[in-house]
């Protein structure tokens, strides 16, 4: 399949497809980070994760319309406000869901899966009723449009670059939160041994609620970032949910580094294959490879050693 | 999850105890007498379609209710069974005479539209009805065996199994849609006409197929009941509740799981094939994630521990879906979501559990009470 291209062309193809893969990688990382916290740390299957992301996207859409109508002068910075708001809204909803639904089901993981699927159906219909069935897009601020030419044949779009930077900074923030903060210490203690954590005075219920809320909030931020590179519809979240779960499982549940590494390999494989095969075959081959590897190595790439 | 009532099935050594016999008789009355008498051929065909999902739900009672394995990919097997039969029917419908206007007569129309000029080799065996009937069950079972062996031998279970089966369902859907020259793509395999020369589109044929479908369903129910009543059924429940203890007692846990998963796949495949026959087409929208998880909810609403409950649940949810989504499509989506949550939080044992808790005590009160056992002096 490489024979028809010259070396220079091949290099450009790999660079451009590699960059497209990096954007996909950023979306995967943003979505998977929230899930890595909720599924990886707490062991809760949240099938409504995609809908929390779409909630963030719709919040961004609303904020952008608000700025367009009332504060056109500040339009350049609306995205940052939208992102913060998306985090708060999705996080708050997440905490409500944890309090009403999830906390009753910690001992029944399969039932959690069904209940959160029901939640995702309700949220989807809610989006459809409020925003209509058609996809909506936001106006990207002026400074994010256009692309940076690197060479004659390679150029990188600025909005993609921005999403990448965002993904990297949020990953760093979560790393700090998990491994350098009091909250992170409590979360890890509860994961490692719930009873002991309870015994040394950690409020495990509050930790659970906060963890779930932060995971959902990160999904909201992912949704906000998602609006910069694509449009949003009521069922967009469902398209990504399986991919995202595979990313987290493939990386090894519980390992943040694993999640990032697996998001990187899956997205790169998919986008480079996409150039040579049809989009659907690229996806089939990538996912098949992931499932195949998981059958041989069920614990994922980076397994966290835990006494169960 | 300890669940003693479900373990109590048939301590007395009979195939069906009194309540189960009454339940089976009531269901048979509904399926074979009441529905055919009350409904016009169109509605009856609709209920026939619902009953094909019941095959999947019964399989799920064995896998999930008894074995504790929640497969979110039953649509894979339903679809494979359905597609296998649809391929046979499509080949029969694509005679050179019927397809004379195509640029390549004698191949299915969707292949012709996708510039394919010869029938692919893996389609060839589906000219034979015998091969097709074997393939309807064998292909999904082999597929389930491969998935099951790979997962259960490595002791992958619980939510991981669910996620992986879901991913496989997603992959298969993308593959079917992507390879439209060979599979009919997103429209599926449509315009099926005859089965060995017998026109399946007439009202009489649909009525006959409805009864065949019902008979097959009762065959599967009997098989499922046999499994539940056997020692194998006991081991499955023991595995669900304390897998380690069963393993330490010397049982090969993985083999039992693989067996029950394959059995569930076979049931689903038969349902899929009957679906194709009764509805007249097969498409990827019955293979993917959404239909697979909906089949789980049919089973959960009916009662994950009751094979008869699963059939009732399937009929009820589908009937409600058709009725509500005709009138209020928006409300139905909310209702379906609420159903998922309610069945988990409020009535985890489904309709069968509610029946056992609230209705059976009423019956017991109606019956003349046998004199209370005298305490032994």
Asked if the model's pLDDT at residue B3 lies above 50, the reply is: no
Quote the mean pLDDT of chain B.
86
ipTM score:
0.84
Nearest by CB to B296, from A114, A120, A284: name it: A114
In which domain, by residue range, is B186 found? 4-365
Nearest by CB to B334, from A122, A283, A284: name it: A122
Task: Give the model confidence (pLDDT) of A222-244 as tens digits.
Answer: 888 888 877 888 888 887 888 88
Beta strands in chain B (DSSP E): 194-195, 198-199
Q: Which CATH number characterizes residue A257's domain?
A: 1.10.3470
Output the CA torsion B11→B13→B15→B19 (10° steps).
-50
B160 occurs within a structural domain:
yes
pLDDT tier, B2 (very low <50, low <70, confident <90, very high otherwise):
very low
pLDDT tier, B5 (very low <50, low <70, confident <90, very high otherwise):
very low
Task: Give the model confidence (pLDDT) of A11-62 as tens digits.
Answer: 777 777 777 778 888 888 888 888 888 887 788 888 899 999 999 999 999 9
Contact B346, A118 (CB under 8 A): no
pTM of the model: 0.87
Task: Give the model confidence (pLDDT) of B218-227 as tens digits.
Answer: 999 999 999 9
pLDDT score of A88: 95
A304 occurs within a structural domain:
no
Count how many pairs of residues, chain A against chain B, have C-beta atoms within 8 Å. 113
> How does strand A147-149 pair with strand A155-157?
antiparallel
A303 occurs within a structural domain:
no
Stretch (H or E) spanning B199:
strand B198-199
Check CB contact under 8 Å for B338 and A122. Answer: yes
A163 occurs within a structural domain:
yes
The lowest-confidence range among A26-40, A91-105, B149-163, B356-370 is B356-370
Q: What residues in chain B have their Cβ under 8 A from chain A's Cβ atoms?
A: 1, 64, 70, 72, 150-151, 154-156, 158-160, 162-164, 166-168, 170-171, 174-175, 177-178, 289-290, 293, 296-297, 300, 330, 333-334, 336-341, 343-345, 348
| A64 C-beta neighbours (distance < 10 Å), count | 22
pLDDT score of A89: 95
B346 occurs within a structural domain:
yes
Please state the domain count of chain B.
1
A305 occurs within a structural domain:
no
Check CB contact under 8 Å for A110 and B159. Answer: yes
Task: Give the model confidence (pLDDT) of B29-51 as tens digits.
Answer: 998 988 888 888 888 999 999 99
Check CB contact under 8 Å for B333 and A101. Answer: no
Please state the domain count of chain A.
1
Task: Give the model confidence (pLDDT) of B165-210 as tens digits.
Answer: 999 999 999 999 988 888 888 888 888 888 888 888 888 889 999 9
A254 occurs within a structural domain:
yes
Asked if the model's pLDDT at residue A306 lies above 60, the reply is: no
Contact B279, B201 (CB under 8 A): no
Asked if the model's pLDDT at residue B294 lies above 70, the reply is: yes
Distance from CA of B16 to the nearest CA of A (A): 29
Q: A69, A53, A98: which is closest to A234 by C-alpha?
A: A53
| B98 C-beta neighbours (distance < 10 Å), count | 15
A307 occurs within a structural domain:
no
Asked if the model's pLDDT at residue A127 lies above 50, the reply is: yes
B270 occurs within a structural domain:
yes
In which domain, by residue range, is A239 found? 16-296
Contact A302, A40 (CB under 8 A): no
A3 occurs within a structural domain:
no
Task: Give the residue from chain B lying closest to A45, CA to CA.
Answer: B159
B372 occurs within a structural domain:
no
Stretch (H or E) spanning A188:
helix A182-192
């Amino acid at each position: 399949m490489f024979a028809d291209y010259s070396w220079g062309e091949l290099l450009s193809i790999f660079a451009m497809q590699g960059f497209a893969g990096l954007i996909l990688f950023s979306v995967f990382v943003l979505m998977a980070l929230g899930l890595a916290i909720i599924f990886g740390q707490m062991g809760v299957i949240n099938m409504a994760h995609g809908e929390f992301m779409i909630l963030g996207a719709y919040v961004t859409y609303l904020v952008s319309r608000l700025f367009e109508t009332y504060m056109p002068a500040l339009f350049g910075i609306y995205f940052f406000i939208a992102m913060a708001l998306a985090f708060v809204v999705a996080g708050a909803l997440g905490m409500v869901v944890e309090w009403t639904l999830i906390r009753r089901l910690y001992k029944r993981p399969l039932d959690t899966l069904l209940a959160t699927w029901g939640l995702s159906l309700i949220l989807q219909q809610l989006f459809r009723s409020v925003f209509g069935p058609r996809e909506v897009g936001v106006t990207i601020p002026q400074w994010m449009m256009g692309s940076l030419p690197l060479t004659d044949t390679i150029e990188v779009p600025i909005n993609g670059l921005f999403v990448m930077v965002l993904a990297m900074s949020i990953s760093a923030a979560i790393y700090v939160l998990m491994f350098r903060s009091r909250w992170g210490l409590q979360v890890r203690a509860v994961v490692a041994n719930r009873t002991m954590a309870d015994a040394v005075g950690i409020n495990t219920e509050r930790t659970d609620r906060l963890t779930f809320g932060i995971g959902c909030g990160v999904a909201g931020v992912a949704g906000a970032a998602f609006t910069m590179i694509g449009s949003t519809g009521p069922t967009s979240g469902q398209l990504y949910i399986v991919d995202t779960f595979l990313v987290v499982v493939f990386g090894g549940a519980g390992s943040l580094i694993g999640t990032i590494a697996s998001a990187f390999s899956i997205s790169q494989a998919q986008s480079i294959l996409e150039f040579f095969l049809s989009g659907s075959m690229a996806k089939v081959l990538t996912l098949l490879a992931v499932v195949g590897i998981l059958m041989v190595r069920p614990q994922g790439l980076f397994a966290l050693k835990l006494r169960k | 999850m300890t669940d003693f009532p479900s373990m109590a099935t048939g301590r007395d050594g009979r195939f069906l105890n009194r309540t189960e016999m009454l339940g089976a008789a009531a269901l048979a009355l509904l399926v074979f007498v009441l529905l055919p008498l009350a409904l016009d051929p169109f509605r009856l065909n609709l209920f026939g379609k619902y009953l094909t999902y019941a095959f999947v739900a019964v399989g799920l009672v064995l896998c999930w209710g008894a074995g504790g394995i929640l497969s979110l990919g039953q649509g894979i097997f339903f679809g494979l069974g359905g597609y296998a039969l649809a391929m046979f029917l499509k080949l029969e419908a694509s005679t050179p005479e019927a397809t004379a206007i195509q640029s390549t007569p004698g191949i299915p129309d969707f292949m012709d539209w996708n510039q394919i000029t010869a029938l692919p080799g893996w389609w060839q065996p589906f000219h034979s009805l015998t091969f097709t009937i074997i393939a309807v069950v064998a292909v999904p079972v082999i597929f389930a065996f491969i998935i099951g062996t790979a997962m259960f031998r490595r002791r992958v279970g619980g939510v991981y199994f669910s996620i992986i089966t879901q991913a496989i369902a997603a992959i298969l859907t993308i593959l079917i849609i992507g390879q439209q020259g060979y599979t009919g793509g997103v429209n599926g395999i449509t315009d099926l006409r005859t089965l060995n020369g017998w026109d399946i589109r007439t009202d009489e044929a649909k009525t006959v197929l409805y009864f065949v479908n019902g008979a097959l369903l009762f065959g599967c129910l009997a098989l499922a009941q046999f499994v539940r009543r056997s020692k194998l059924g006991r081991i499955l429940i023991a595995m669900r509740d304390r897998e380690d203890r069963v393993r330490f007692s010397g049982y090969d846990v993985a083999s039992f799981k693989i067996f029950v998963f394959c059995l569930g796949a076979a049931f689903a495949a038969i349902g899929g094939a009957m679906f194709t026959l009764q509805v007249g087409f097969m498409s990827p929208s019955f293979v993917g994630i959404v239909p697979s998880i909906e089949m789980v909810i049919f089973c959960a609403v009916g009662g994950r521990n009751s094979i008869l409950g699963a059939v009732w649940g399937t009929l009820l949810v589908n009937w409600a879906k058709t009725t509500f989504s005709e009138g209020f499509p928006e409300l139905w989506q909310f209702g379906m979501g609420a159903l998922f949550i309610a069945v988990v939080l409020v009535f985890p044992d489904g309709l069968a559990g509610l029946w056992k808790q609230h209705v059976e005590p009423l019956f017991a009160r109606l019956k003349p009470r046998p004199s209370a056992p005298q305490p032994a002096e």
